[in-house]
Amino acid sequence: MGATNKFPMPNLRIFCDSQFNAAALRLLEDGITPHELLVPQRRGDSVLSVAPSDSAIFQADIAFGQPSVETVLKAGRLRWLQITSAGFTRYDTPEFRAAAAARGLIVTNSSSVYAEACAEHVFAFMLAQARQLPLALKTRCAGGSAPWIELRNASGCLKGQQVVILGYGTIAARLVEMLAPFHMKITAMRRHPRGDEGVSTVTPEDLAGALSTADHVINILPDNPASARFVSKERLGQMKRGAIFYNIGRGTTVDQEALAESLQAGRLAAAWLDVTDPEPLPEDHPLWIAPHCFITPHTAGGHQNESGTLVRHFLDNLQRFVDGSPLCDRII
């Protein structure tokens, strides 16, 4: 953007509490010129979790990072908050929404930043399971041997199989694009289907039928009061014998004890989880020892130079904000 007269509005004060690397920080500083950057005394530990409160935010017009709800509510000058995660649980309350609406505070998230990586991550889970990679990478055997025949027979193809996606947002839409060459039957569950999903949709009330025939059940639900333990013992029981369950949404949306039981009983063939509740799970949690349970430590959204992508996404929205255009990834 530079120091030229691209911003007709008076200079803005932008507060950022994120722990970015030096290159991303420089990109941010350069990119917001001629606006002013306000930084806290101490930055957050991660772009996904709440940052320590800092009074600098009270001077800011815009905040970019993970300020606490209390701080945002007290920061009366704020006109726009962009959070650095896709999840926005702590802001997703009637009270916060009402307060934001009353003040005209816009809230955006960074879901576009994580959508590609998240969709590729769950797709990696699906293909790794289909091709039996965890077992195959450990197996040394000769062609024609019993373990070889068993492994080849246990391997499969995604092509033509059935998928249910729980929660249809940016990540699901990207995943649907990726699955197109596999000619799968895809059903997306959405509380309020719009008709523009490009795949068949069901509401939570009509989910049981779709679960009963799906080979793959992919959970991308965010954490909110309606999603708490949505994947319940009952819904796990509605899944087809031999189905595979994936979670890249939030751990709180699953009854994890019931999931471990389904795996122990051999009802589900496997579970691939990038999120759990809590993270990491305690050492003695049954999911650690459940058969065919594969867990990555909430790395689905991660990618090289994540800080850079977050900053570019913010700068893009900053330009829109200054221009008065609708912001990308608006949530409130």
Q: Closest by alpha carbon to 103, among 81, 68, 79, 82?
A: 79
Q: How many residues does the chain have?
A: 332
Nearer to its own copies, 160 or 209 (CB): 160
b/e string for 20-33 if b means 16 or more Cβ within 10 A? Answer: beeebbebbeebbe
Nearer to its own copies, 140 or 192 (CB): 140
Taking residue 261's Cβ as centre, other Cβ atoms within 10 Å add up to 17
Q: How far is the CB of 44 from its own copies (least distance, A)?
A: 8
Paired residues of 272 in beta bridges: 246, 294
Candidate list 13, 35, 250, 313, residue with the active-site label: 250
**DSSP conformation letters of 87-115:** --GGG-SHHHHHHHHHHT-EEE--HHHHH
Opening angle at CA 116, ends 235 and 114, nearest 5: 80
Nearer to its own copies, 159 or 191 (CB): 159
The phi and psi torsions of 293 (rounded to 5 degrees) equal: -110, 120
Examine the residue annotation and report whether 103 is marked as an active-site residue of this protein.
no
Q: How far is the CB of 248 from its own copies (least distance, A)?
A: 11
Q: How far is the CB of 191 from its own copies (least distance, A)?
A: 27
Site residues (vs its own copies, CB under 8 A): 45-46, 48-49, 116-117, 120-121, 123-125, 127-128, 130-134, 136-137, 139-144, 148-149, 151-159, 177-178, 180-182, 279-280, 294-306
Candidate list 29, 234, 257, 279, residue with the active-site label: 279
Q: How far is the CB of 116 from its own copies (least distance, A)?
A: 5
Examine the residue annotation and report whether 191 is marked as an active-site residue of this protein.
no
**Longest alpha-carbon distance in the chain:** 74
Examine the residue annotation and report whether 140 is marked as an active-site residue of this protein.
no
Nearer to its own copies, 96 or 272 (CB): 272
Sign of the alpha-carbon torsion through 227, 306, 129, 159: positive
The phi and psi torsions of 181 (rounded to 5 degrees) equal: -65, -5
> In whole angstroms, what separates CA 216 from the centre of its chain?
18
Name residues whose C-beta falls within 8 Å of residue 174's C-beta, 6 or more positions apart in sequence: 115, 116, 118, 119
The one-character DSSP state at 9 is S
Candidate list 43, 174, 298, 313, residue with the active-site label: 298
Q: How far is the CB of 156 from its own copies (least distance, A)?
A: 5
Nearer to its own copies, 125 or 321 (CB): 125
Q: How far, CA to CA in Å, does 122 sit from each of 28, 140, 142, 172, 269?
A: 30, 27, 31, 10, 16
Q: How far is the CB of 218 from its own copies (least distance, A)?
A: 15
Nearer to its own copies, 243 or 318 (CB): 243
Active site residues: 250, 279, 298
